[in-house]
Amino acid sequence: MSNDMKKSALITGGAKRIGRAIAIYLAENGYDIALHYNTSEKEAQSAKKEIISLGRKCNLYKLNLHNNRDLTSFIKKVKMSFPGLSILINNASIFEEGRFLETDLSLLNKHFNINFKAPFLLSQGFARYCKKGQIINLLDTNIKRTKTKYLAYNLSKKLLFEFTKMAALELAPNIRVNAIAPGPILPPPGKDIKYLQEKGGVVPLQRNGEIKNIIQGVNFLIENDYVTGQCIFIDGGKHLLQNQ
Ligand SMILES: NC(=O)c1ccc[n+]([C@@H]2O[C@H](COP(=O)([O-])OP(=O)(O)OC[C@H]3O[C@@H](n4cnc5c(N)ncnc54)[C@H](OP(=O)(O)O)[C@@H]3O)[C@@H](O)[C@H]2O)c1
């Protein structure tokens, strides 16, 4: 393979937490990394340093996915620097509380723009410019439940779940589209481990998951080339419970 066509991956929200772990895992496995971030400049620089120390190329892309609609040309730009771009990980997301009557248009738009429309448009760009490869969308175990405390968030992830299956059908056979639905893995920013331990109580496997469990899912989806349109619930069985 020529150096220019080196296998490469784009990860959104890749500066920290789960996105960063996926970026490092892919770099360890030979991928050059296009790492998208929004506000976490310092963490993005630190992830870049680590990726370069693994002998891979890493470019950083700062972009607010809330108000940026030109995401197809963003993919075109990334593809010019990474001609071997073959993986898109739609990981960036927001998670804000609000039941139905508390969810105004601004909260709804924010969740739909970042959590659903951005992956939709990035996938469209990926299909147009990369033509071959795979897309992995990060969902949430709660897509299986009628949870209303984070109504806009849950709706946006439910929509992304349906889109994952539609895109898998539309983009086969050259692009596989799958999803991972994590359960309690990391407490949301601002919440401590106690928050997750409380959640862990209602998980059939009676404990929280770890980032390594998500990485194992990413590895499975990348390696198994007969899987598309799937969502793997990495949630200790939480999706089996009805609204608990
Ligand atoms: N953590 C869990 O246990 C858990 C459970 C269920 C589902 N998930 C899903 O798994 C994925 C990763 O989870 P996580 O907890 O690691 O995610 P996270 O820390 O909540 O968010 C990931 C990144 O999204 C980016 N982001 C937020 N708003 C953005 C915007 N307007 N424009 C561009 N980027 C934006 C942020 O980038 P910057 O920091 O650069 O601003 C952030 O670092 C998410 O899709 C999440 O919904 C996670």
Q: How is domain 3-234 classified at the CATH fold level?
A: Rossmann fold (3.40.50)
Quick one: pLDDT band at residue 188, thresholds 50, 70, 90? confident
pLDDT tens digits for range 95-129 = 999 999 999 999 999 999 999 999 999 999 999 99
Which residue's CA is the closest to the ligand 1 atom numbered 10?
Answer: 138
Residue ranges per domain, the chain? 3-234
Average pLDDT score over residue span 216-241: 97
Burial call 20-38: b when 16+ CB within 10 Å, e when fewer: bbbbbbbbeeebbbbbbbb
Q: Give the number of the atom of ligand 1 that is nearest the alpha carbon of residue 184.
A: 3
Residue 244's pLDDT is: 59
Q: Give the number of the atom of ligand 1 that is nearest the alpha carbon of residue 44.
A: 40
Q: d(Cα 200, Cα 235) in Å, to the nearest integer?
A: 10
Q: By the 8 A CB rule, do 82 and 60 touch?
A: no
* Ligand 1, pocket-test mutation among 93, 149, 155, 233, most atoms within 8 A of CB: 93
Q: d(Cα 138, Cα 214) in Å, to the nearest integer?
A: 10
CA–CA distance from 225 to each of 131, 145, 162 (Å)?
16, 29, 21
Residues lining ligand 1, Cβ inside 6 A:
13, 15-19, 37-40, 64-66, 91-95, 114, 138, 140, 182, 184-186, 189
Average pLDDT score over residue span 60-84: 95
Average pLDDT score over residue span 41-61: 98
Residue 146's pLDDT is: 94
Q: By the 8 A CB rule, do 125 and 74 touch?
A: yes
Q: Give the number of the atom of ligand 1 that is nearest the alpha carbon of residue 141.
A: 6
Which residue's CA is the closest to the ligand 1 atom numbered 48?
Answer: 182
Q: d(Cα 151, Cα 130) in Å, to the nearest integer?
A: 34
Is the per-residue pLDDT at 32 higher than 60? Answer: yes
User: At which residue do the structure tokens 């496997």 appear?
Assistant: 205
Is the per-residue pLDDT at 196 higher than 90? Answer: no
Residue 19's pLDDT is: 98
Bridge-based pairing of strands 85-90 and 231-234 is unpaired
CA of 188 to the centre of ligand 1 (A): 9
pTM (2 decimals)?
A: 0.97
Residue 68's pLDDT is: 77
Which residues, at least 6 apart from 48, have a Cβ–Cβ distance to it below 8 Å? 35, 58, 60
DSSP code for 113: I
Average pLDDT score over residue span 62-68: 93
DSSP code for 117: I
